[in-house]
Amino acid sequence: MNIHILPIKNLIRSVGRTTALTIVVALLSLSMLGGGLIARSLERGLDSLETRLGADIIVVPDEAKSKKDLESILLDGVPGYFYMDRDYFGKVAAREGIERISAQYYLASTKSGCCSMPVQIIGFDPETDFTVTPWIKHSGGKDLGLYDIVAGYNINKTMGGTIKFFDVECTVSSKLDRTGTELDNAVYANFDTIRALIEASKTNSFKFFSEQNPDDIISSMLIDVEDGVSIDDVVADINIHVKGVEAVATKSMLSGVSDSLKGVSRIIRLFIIVIWILLLLILLVVFSTMIHQRKKECAILRVLGTSRVMLARVILTESALISLAGGVMGSLLSLLLIYPFSGLLEEELGLPFLLPGPAQVAVMVLMVVILTLLVGALASSYAALKLSRVDTGLILREGN
């Protein structure tokens, strides 16, 4: 008898048991990889948001209610706007500890009657900007001209396409990489384009911007502090000495998102641990039950000359084949469920969500398959040990 093909023959002969075990392992592998992908995507989303904001401090007018309105625009994707006199730019820039400072202007569009879609339009000054420009260059974009815009990842336009705002066609000069946040739904333009859009809004009976001009007012200031200077100290200094504005550390603004992410990650990790324990227990019970069902089979194999080591190897090989098949199937099913519905997951979780790249996903799949194999081997080791020690004569005399 060819002992090497015996495990495969055993699995085929007991096709019902083999299928059931493979499905169980596949479902548990699906849960493990799916949980790991979600946890990692949340972590990458937060890291991406911190990087894209690109500033240590954001300064907004008092009327913006500081963090609340700012979060609704930058984190929740709610188109909005608030303004302060441009004179504040000089007052804030004069404070100590500031290395770079740049102004931004928020222009919210509405879909009805003026625009192709409701988005947050963010104006920036290319001369002083240090948050948007690096991402434009990273995505291969060029310097923006009049009516040129930079589209977030979710904006359904390709480079060279056009979007109409206030009956003015703007050209998509470049598209930014995905962040997994609501910033993917925003568009960016220089102040010249913002001025032109404001003029267009006036002639098209949109009077809510009639008094606004980025030459006179701004929405926010982004600040990068000097090396070695405490961000909290600069925030406190601005809030004490510059009345009418509110300085917010970006890490503080993201603290709520970070806390929510940590809570979700803890639940997912606990879920994965429970899944591992369940997998081990289920396989242990199944393979232990097999001891009683296969005593006669193992006794016959011993009589035919199969050694104890070879007998144990048969059981471990069967376990490895089931674990490998279930691990691969579960991993592939997890990818098929998560990737097409990543947008829905992001919306339901309400947190930054950025799926890992192909290389990282491949590593995670490999880890899940290897761990599944290890758990299967651990669970079947007990059964293999018991089966290899059966008393051949006693089993055959009992007729089991």
DSSP annotation of 273 reads H
Q: What is the pTM of this model?
A: 0.68
* DSSP H helices in 106-242: 133-138, 191-203, 231-241
CB distance 193 to 128 below 8 Å: no
DSSP annotation of 212 reads -
β-bridge partners, 187: 121, 151
Comparing 19-28, 65-74, 294-303, 340-349, the range with the smallest average pLDDT is 65-74
Return the closest-CA partner of residue 26 out of 279, 284, 377. Answer: 279
Contacts of 226 (CB under 8 A, 6+ apart): 97, 98, 99
Residue range 309-335: average pLDDT?
A: 86
pLDDT for position 291: 60
For residue 334, is pLDDT > 80? Answer: yes
β-bridge partners, 100: 224
The Cα 157–Cα 165 span in angstroms is: 14
Q: Which residue has the tokens 């290899």?
A: 388
Contacts of 108 (CB under 8 A, 6+ apart): 79, 80, 81, 118, 120, 121
Residue range 2-23: average pLDDT?
A: 78
In angstroms, what is the C-alpha Rg of the chain?
Answer: 31
The Cα 44–Cα 179 span in angstroms is: 8
Percent of the chain with pLDDT over 90: 22
DSSP-derived 3-state class of residue 96: coil
pLDDT for position 112: 41
Q: What are phi and psi of 168, to 5 degrees?
A: -115, 125
Give the length of the chain.
Answer: 400
DSSP-derived 3-state class of residue 178: coil
For 357-373, the pLDDT digits (tens) are 899 999 999 999 998 88
